[in-house]
Amino acid sequence: MTPELQDLFAFLRFPSISTDSRNAGDVRACAGWLIEKLTGMGLETSLRETERHPIVVAKNTPRPDRKTVLIYGHYDVQPVDPLNLWTTPPFEPEIRGGKVWARGSTDNKGQMLAHVLGVEKTLKEKGDLPVNLIFLFEGEEEIGSPNLAPFLRANLDLLKCDVIAVSDTGMVAPGVPTLGYGLRGISCCEVTLRGPARDLHSGLFGGAVANPATALSRLITSLHDEEGRILIDGFYDDVKPLEDWEREMWSKVPGVSDADFLKVTGSPGLHGEAGYTSAERTWARPTAEVNGIGGGYQGEGSKTVLPAEAFAKFSFRLVPNQDPGKIMEQVQAHFDKHCPPGVTLTCEVGHDGKPYHADPKSAFGLAAPRALKAAFHAEPVLIREGGSIPIVQAFREILGADTLLLGLALSDAQIHSPDENFPVENFEAGIRLNQALLEELAK
């Protein structure tokens, strides 16, 4: 095994699950490993405390005649449930079929460590970097980065930069280098419908009082029409329409046809807003999704009850010009308006993040494809990303810098799911990408 893969395996063994307080020590230990690694490379490194998990900052010695590049990543990972669906233990990395299998292998440890190792390789080969470098690694991305924006505001001088690079996104297909110039935003909430004071016998009381589970089903169906269009009043008012040049460009991007979506998802058929391809829907159109639902008896066999309450978790993906706060006000108004009689509704607002959109034809935007081509030896494609990285828009608003989204993940990486994986060849290409990127940005 190469020294680079040995480093990756060591990094992946930390169960740095940020959402679970039982793993707080593991998250901190993972940050400590990063500090030791970065310090050993000769960088000026510091561990910065937050209200929950620490932030890692590392810098080289700056020079006034050089561009300053900030590279962001996160060392926290998602929970591993359901554990029984993993082929091998999630924190015991293994190589099978040319891929590294472990939680965090793609999201985001493999991708961010490729940048670290690219810098290490350049320092060993040349003794210096062509830019002023800032590494900014957090341990709370998977819980919405609650402490990162305040950290940015409190450390403007420390983090002042010309451009930001992030590898926490995807490639459209194997071997096709991909630059993202946009991200969807997000707004989340959890709705609970309550009826009787306790679960009731469905024979004695069914038909006499409202069933919260049935009411919740009706509430959920009120969100869309038959063609997938969202029925929340005002939801589309601020949506930035797709440009003609984008639709034309995306029609030629490999790996994102409707057939590709069917293959990757394993779904029996596609569904979504009429008039758009699957790629256009996921990259540039807003959505309303149910992420979880529950209520009543969940065990084996029957228990004939009328549940006292039912709940659903929702996320709304947003596109440029939509504001998460405004959207959530519209969502809550919709739920209040469409709540069936006989139940009470409470809505707990969750985390959110603004959408992001940059100009791919800017000087830095043009430098990134050149670096991607050098790393992958293939022509890159330009896309917007369907996912959300809420902190990216905060980078622009607080630090005043745009972000280059340099994806190394594949669509079958199974991030947030059992058997997460990362191709070894993409990890190695990521190391080359970092070296080429810093050279191009320096120009």
Q: What is the pLDDT of residue 144?
A: 84
Catalytic residue among 26, 76, 140, 440: 76
141: annotated active-site residue: yes
Contacts 24+ apart (CB under 8 A), 410-417: 410/106, 410/170, 410/171, 410/173, 410/174, 411/170, 411/172, 411/173, 411/255, 411/260, 411/264, 412/264, 413/105, 413/106, 413/107, 413/170, 415/78, 415/106, 415/107, 416/78, 416/107
117 close to 27: Cβ distance less than 8 angstroms: no
pLDDT tops 90 at residue 390: no
Cβ-proximal residues to 427 (8 Å cutoff; 6+ apart), any chain: 4, 5, 8, 100, 110, 113, 114, 408
Q: Please give the structure tokens belonging to residue 174.
A: 């194997």
**What's the CA gap between 361 and 368, in Å, rounded?**
10
Catalytic residue among 120, 140, 141, 440: 141
Residue among 187, 157, 158 nearest 55 (CA): 158
Dump the DSSP string for 232-267.
STTTTTTPPPPPHHHHHHHTT-TT-SHHHHHHHH--
Residue with token string 């008012």: 237
How many CB atoms lie under 10 A from the CB of residue 99? 22
From its phi and psi, is residue 22 left (phi > 0), alpha (psi between -120 and 50) or beta? alpha
Residue among 291, 285, 313 nearest 229 (CA): 285
Q: What is the pLDDT of residue 387?
A: 87
pLDDT tops 90 at residue 98: yes
168 close to 112: Cβ distance less than 8 angstroms: yes
Q: What is the pLDDT of residue 222?
A: 98
Cβ-proximal residues to 198 (8 Å cutoff; 6+ apart), any chain: 308
- Kindly state the average pLDDT of the residues 219-240: 97
Band (17; pLDDT cuts 50, 70, 90):
very high
Digit-coded pLDDT (tens) for 115-150: 999 999 999 999 999 999 999 999 999 998 999 999
**What's the CA gap between 231 and 220, in Å, rounded?**
11
199: annotated active-site residue: no
Digit-coded pLDDT (tens) for 334-377: 999 999 999 999 999 998 889 999 999 999 999 999 999 999 99
142 close to 104: Cβ distance less than 8 angstroms: no
**What's the CA gap between 167 and 11, in Å, rounded?**
17
Tabulate helix, strand, coil % of the chain (nearest 5).
Answer: 35, 25, 40
Q: Which domains does the chain have, with CATH numbers?
A: 3-183+355-442 (3.40.630.10), 185-239+286-352 (3.30.70.360)
Cβ-proximal residues to 428 (8 Å cutoff; 6+ apart), any chain: 4, 114
User: What are the strands, taking DSSP E only, across 161-306?
Assistant: 163-166, 178-183, 185-194, 200-201, 287-295, 305-306
Write down the pTM of the prediction: 0.86
**What's the CA gap between 74 and 139, in Å, rounded?**
6
**What's the CA gap between 6 and 8, in Å, rounded?**
5
Cβ-proximal residues to 308 (8 Å cutoff; 6+ apart), any chain: 194, 195, 196, 197, 198, 199, 200, 212
SS3 226: coil
pLDDT tops 90 at residue 265: no
pLDDT tops 90 at residue 32: yes
pLDDT tops 90 at residue 388: no
18 close to 53: Cβ distance less than 8 angstroms: yes
